[in-house]
Amino acid sequence: MPSLKDLRTRINSVKSTQKITSAMKMVAASKLRRAQSQAEAARPYAERMERVLVALAQSVRGSPTAPRMLVGTGADRVHLIVAVTGDRGLAGAFNSSIGRAARNLARRLEAEGKTVKIFAVGRKGRDLLRREMAEALIGDVSYAGKKRVEFSDAEEIAQRITAMLAAGEIDVATLVYNRFHSVISQIVTETQLIPVPVPEGAEQAEPPASRAMYEFEPDEETILARLLPQNLAIQIYRALLESSAGFYGAQMTAMDNATRNAGDMIKRLTLNYNRARQANITKELIEIISGAEAAV
Amino acid sequence: MPVGLEIVSPEKLLLSRPVDMVVIPASEGDLGVLPGHSPMIVMLRGGTIRIHEGGQVTSTLFVSGGFAEITPERCTVLASEVLPPAELSRAEADRRLAEAEAAYAAADKMDVAALEAEMDRMQSARAMREAAEAP
């Protein structure tokens, strides 16, 4: 049986933990709102970019000089996995589920006899993957201490991937990130970056009138050479934003749970404390009464 | 009948409204877009977008480059970066120009694509300087 003093200290320590977790929950909630609106603001560009890309891709399809980023290198040997995680913990399974997804994908590809390279975005992902697949990890970036994701961050990653592709170091690139579904659920999503997946069905789905032939200025390939890296950056930017919104959602949920657990714990400890206090009083009363009786 | 103009940057949708005519800085020369324009996809150089309404230029925006999709009903500008005239500064333009020139000098002279990209950046920075100096 712990003494009264021990119980009091425990209760106080749990109370201060609860204060921290509930503050973190509030901070996560406000950051979530900001991240969500940023993700929404970025959507129009991505949608329109996709429309232009589909038109271009359909126009150059089958051309022998089509850029590598669109059709791939023709080989399927070296895979790059870009794993997007958060820079901080205390967000439930947010980071570890990306780690697991990236690892599973890597194992599967390795079992097929392919070489796997991993690029980690976010400090937590780097730490996780370095522990388990250090030999495959070729680079990492993290945005710890940054207030918000900027487009230039995504551009930087895209440039590194483009350089790797140009040097023939990779054939296929896949992005693994947490898609923001709702505050309580983030879906681990794998998106192929290179070769660019072009929706095949789009052509038939549209009415013939809007399938007008575009004129291109300058020619298709010059535009594509500039558009594809931009598209890559956009895809990454979108993933970074989704991931950051998802991260705050996950953190909010985790901290909400922690606050509730702390509340339960305080209740239980307080009950124990009061019981012990009452037992002490009863014991003392008995001692006094029996002492008084003995004196009579 | 107006033409639906949309200007989007990677960060957000900046403008979406019907206008009478818009002049965009396409890579091979300025391009005026009126309703009923034939469908085109063009690359943009650094330059100024001019929006015409009621017979005069109602607003101008500087873009550092990007793409535009033109259909008979609308004109969508996918800009890498959009700056209103008030935010243009000579100093920033000079800084970018110096950066692009340095990158050009350092670039591999056999890598035509990289050289062209740097040339475009230099052009974009010069256009920015011009736009900043214009009244």
Would you give the DSSP letter of residue B85? G
Residue pair A44/A254 in contact (Cβ under 8 Å)? The answer is: no
B3-85 fold: ATP Synthase; domain 1 (2.60.15)
Tell if the CB–CB gap between B11 and A52 is shorter than 8 Å.
no
**Looking at chain A, how many residues does it have?**
296
> In sequence order, which residues have a C-beta less than 8 Å from that of residue A15 and are 6 or more positions away?
A262, A266
Report helix, strand or coil for A113: coil
Which H or E element spans position A252?
A: helix A220-295
Question: Rounded mean pLDDT of A125-150?
Answer: 84
Tell if the CB–CB gap between B39 and A56 is shorter than 8 Å.
no
Band of pLDDT at residue A169, cut at 50, 70 and 90? confident
- B110 Cβ under 8 Å from any chain A Cβ: no
Q: Phi and psi (nearest 5°) for A95?
A: -75, -40
Tell if the CB–CB gap between B10 and A237 is shorter than 8 Å.
yes
**From start to end of chain A, where are the E strands?**
78-84, 115-121, 137-141, 172-182, 185-194, 215-217
Burial of residue B34, with CB atoms counted within 10 A of its CB: 0-12 exposed, 13-18 middle, 19 or more buried: middle
- How near does any CA of chain A get to the CA of B68, in Å? 9
- Nearest CB partner across the interface for B10, out of A45, A210, A225: A45
- B109 Cβ under 8 Å from any chain A Cβ: no
The amino acid present at B108, given as its one-letter code, is D
A35-253 fold: Pyruvate Kinase; Chain: A, domain 1 (3.40.1380)
- Nearest CB partner across the interface for A215, out of B39, B67, B76: B39
Domain boundaries, chain B: 3-85, 88-133
**Looking at chain B, how many residues does it have?**
135
Residue pair B127/B24 in contact (Cβ under 8 Å)? The answer is: no
Question: Rounded mean pLDDT of B79-89?
Answer: 85
Question: Rounded mean pLDDT of B25-48?
Answer: 91
Question: Is the peptide bond between B85 and the residue preceding it cis, with omega within 30 degrees of 0?
Answer: no
ipTM of the shown complex: 0.83
Q: Which residues pair with A120 in a beta bridge?
A: A83, A140
Q: How many other C-beta atoms are found inside a 10 Å radius of the C-beta of residue A65?
A: 7
The amino acid present at A12, given as its one-letter code, is N
Q: Mean pLDDT lowest for which of A70-84, A126-140, A195-209?
A: A195-209
Q: Supply the angle between the helices A220-295 and A151-166 in degrees, to the nearest 10.
A: 120
Minimal-distance CA residue of chain B relative to A149: B11
pLDDT above 80: residue A209: no
- pLDDT digit string, tens, across residues A14-71: 999 999 999 999 999 999 999 999 998 988 898 888 888 888 887 776 666 677 777 7
Residue pair A186/A246 in contact (Cβ under 8 Å)? The answer is: yes
